[in-house]
Amino acid sequence: MNRLMMIGGLAVGLSSLFNFAHADPSKPFVPIDPVQSCSRDLAVLPDFLMANDTGAVDNRRHRGESAVASALERATREAASVKSSDDCAQVLRRYLAAWREGHLTVQSVVKAPESGKNVEAATQPQEPPTEIRWLSSRTVLLTFRTFAPSAEAPIRDLFKSHQKRLAQTPHWIIDVRQNNGGSDSTYEPIVQAVIGNTVLAVGAEFLSTTANIEAHSRICEIYAPGDAGCAKDMQPLVQALRAAPAGTYVRPPGSSGLVMRWDPDQLKRARPQRVAVLTDTACASSCEQFLLAMRQGWNVKLMGRRTHGALDYSNLRPFTLPSGERVLWYATSRSARLPHLPVDATGVLPDVLLLPPQNEAERAKEVDFVKGLLEGVTSRLPGS
């Protein structure tokens, strides 16, 4: 799997990446009229989306011309009365939701904090991206909170450190509830550890436009600053897009076709007998791609709720809006599954439906319930 094929597919949590456009502290701050700047940003969105976003044409057709036009009229009225940049960002996000709910958003540019300010949010402790806990001698719980590129090394370390005991544990519960996606290569060690049969993956095509080419050329500065491997991986795609006629779609260079065959690395590797993957409506983007791969394993069942539905149009890239205060994140690729097998409309559906938990206690009980199913012990369904 190409580690950059789905990079930029994070459905939530993008704010941590927006430090690439700081305000210059050496220059005096010039107040910007929020109404004027908001109206300018809104005005460029319709044409930019139709020219560059891979889902815009389909989304406008499916949602209806009148629905998108009405959303623009409402946003125009709201933009005329905003009081701040944050107010404007909310107005623009509501407008973009009329096109689609996932993989299309606006974020305020992060400005350098003033001297002496307490940047408390940056120092708050965060949960680890991976966690492992044995529930019994027969069942282990593996929690993966994100598939962001930064989680790839911790995931590989987890399987390496616990390799022997995992090989002796027949039942695995993989928890990707609230996983916000990231990059396909991040979850590759999980698939290798679980699935011993061939898996088919459907690839994506990239839209060639001037804006998209420029965005691809700069994406490594945001996602992997200083990583020479990132730039090397992106270069063939950028060259292919430059060589293609504007407005056409391009397959990633080196791909033999849009349907790819993935074979396990070690056929005789010890793998779990039964695997339950816990999922919910917050699982999005590469988390959903992960589920499409996992459900092909003969030893795997998906359990929980439908996923978010943010996968058909992906590989998000930034476009700085005219005000310079906000950045549009939009999709530059579309899945070759379309139009036959869309995910955005319904999300990825579970094999076993679990009703939404009402609180954290019920959410924790889902794990106990699944453990009981795997071990053949009578277990009471959460909330029943």
**CATH code: domain of residue 152:** 3.90.226.10
Q: Which domain holds residue 286?
A: 127-203+258-310+347-375
140/288 same-domain check: yes
Q: What total number of domains does the chain contain?
A: 2
> Does any domain span residue 111?
no
Rounded to an integer, what distance in angstroms lies between the CA atom of residue 145 and that of residue 175? 8
pTM here is: 0.84
3-state secondary structure 199-217: EEEECEEEECCHHHHHHHH
Residues 288 and 353 in one domain: yes
- Please indicate, yes or no, whether residues 268 and 225 belong to a single structural domain of this protein: no
3-state secondary structure of 107: strand
**Same structural domain, 276 and 353:** yes
Is 67 in a helix, a strand, or coil? helix
142 and 232 share a domain?
Answer: no
Q: Which two tokens stand for residue 162?
A: 């616990």
* pLDDT in the model for residue 6: 43
Give alpha helix (H) positions in 84-183: 85-97, 120-123, 152-161, 163-167
Residue 190 lies in a domain: yes
The answer as to whether 172 is a domain residue is yes
Residue 25 lies in a domain: no
Q: Looking at residue 235, what is its pLDDT?
A: 93
**Type of residue found at 115:** S
Q: What is the pLDDT along the chain (384 residues), one digit of tens a residue?
A: 444 454 445 443 444 444 444 444 454 444 578 999 999 999 999 999 999 999 999 999 999 999 999 999 999 999 999 999 999 999 999 999 999 998 999 999 854 334 333 333 334 457 889 999 999 999 999 999 999 988 999 999 999 999 999 999 999 999 999 999 988 889 999 999 999 999 998 999 999 999 999 999 999 888 778 888 888 889 999 999 999 999 999 998 887 778 888 888 777 789 999 999 999 999 999 999 999 999 999 999 999 999 999 999 999 999 999 999 999 999 999 999 999 999 999 999 999 999 999 999 999 999 999 999 999 986 666 656
- Do 143 and 191 reside in the same domain of the chain? yes
Is 195 in the same domain as 217? no
Taking the CB of residue 335, how many other CB atoms lie within 10 A of it?
Answer: 21
Asked, for residue 302, whether it belongs to a domain, the answer is yes
Query: How is residue 150 annotated by DSSP?
Result: G
Q: Are residues 148 and 235 in the same domain?
A: no
Task: Please indicate, yes or no, whether residues 300 and 362 belong to a single structural domain of this protein.
Answer: yes
User: Is the previous residue joined to 339 through a cis bond, with omega within 30 degrees of 0?
Assistant: yes
Chain-centre distance for alpha carbon 35: 32
168 in a domain, yes or no?
A: yes
Category of 111 on φ-ψ map: left (φ > 0), alpha (ψ -120 to 50) or beta: beta
State whether 131 and 232 are in the same domain: no
